[in-house]
Structures are given as structure tokens and as C-alpha cells.
Amino acid sequence: MSSTVIRPCPHCGALNRIPANHLTDHGRCGSCKQVLLPVDQPIEADATLFQEVVSTARVPVLVDFWASWCGPCRLAASEVSALAREMVGRAVVLKVDTEAHPEVASQFQVQGIPNFVVLKNGRVVMQRAGVTPRSEMRRWLEAA
């Protein structure tokens, strides 16, 4: 079964299922038929959604590995959200909670958080731990 992201329509509030491979596409609300813009915010991903997005994305994917107890992770969160808005349609931003989904973090040998991974065509392009300026994260995605 395909993983989907549930998004409310900004026009009518109806919930729409967006398949993982269409997160950067324009769509239409199933209820009011108004245009739904590409996802412009970080997406909380479990192992299933993570795998589907990474394997089907036609654009680079930035993954923010984080945990709620991590002060630097909370500090980086606003920059990650701003980056998702800046890169709308050109990248997908995922957030993986290392406490809830340690199996995903272990795939990338995440030992320090926040930890950022950029993937393109399912392959790691770069990985870095620590708080990072949004401008640098943007460069990573643009270079991928």
C-alpha cells in the first residue's frame, strides 16, 4: 500500500491524501477542486513514509533527524521549516524523530542530532550533524 500525506485544503478545509510521489506537484482538492500547491513544510515521516518518499522523489530530499528533548534540534526547526517554504516544489523536507523511529536513524549511523542527510534518487549525497544555517542547507539541496 502506498504511503500518503494528509493535507487540509487551504480553501475549504477538506482533508486530501497526497501520494508520496506527488508531494512536489500541484494538485486539486477532492472536495472543492481548488488548486493544492506542493508541500511547503517539513513532513513528519515514519519508516514507511520515509522509504516511499526517498525512493520515489524526483527532487532532492533533506532529512532532519531530531528528537523532542534536543535543544539544538528545536533551534534548527525554524530554519528547516523556512527552508521547506523556500524550496517548495524543488525539494522535499522530511523530519524523522530518532526516538520514535530509531530504525531509520540507524540506517544512516546517526549518532548526534540534529543530523541532516540529503538524498537524491535514493542515494546519500551528503550528511552532517549539528545546527546548520539555512543558507548552507539550501546550497546542499541546490547542489544535489
Q: What is the CATH number of the domain that holds 126?
A: 3.40.30.10
Residues 15 and 81 occupy one common structural domain: no
Sorted by sequence, the CB contacts under 8 Å of residue 99 that are 6+ apart come out as 67, 68, 69
Residues 32 and 54 occupy one common structural domain: no
Q: How many domains does the chain have?
A: 2
Active site residue 70: yes
Angstrom distance (rounded) from CA 21 to CA 57: 6
Residues 94 and 54 occupy one common structural domain: yes
Domain with 22 in it:
4-36
Residues 107 and 91 occupy one common structural domain: yes
Residues 88 and 124 occupy one common structural domain: yes
pLDDT tens, residue by residue, 61-112: 999 999 999 999 999 999 999 999 999 999 999 999 999 999 999 999 999 9
| Active-site position among 9, 29, 32, 70 | 70
pTM: 0.93
Angstrom distance (rounded) from CA 67 to CA 54: 21
Residues 63 and 129 occupy one common structural domain: yes
Residues 77 and 30 occupy one common structural domain: no
Strand residues in 22-100 grouped as ranges (E): 27-28, 35-36, 43-44, 61-66, 92-97
The H-or-E segment that residue 47 falls in is helix 47-56
| Active-site position among 9, 12, 32, 73 | 73
Any idea what DSSP says for residue 130? S
CB 62 within 8 A of CB 93: yes
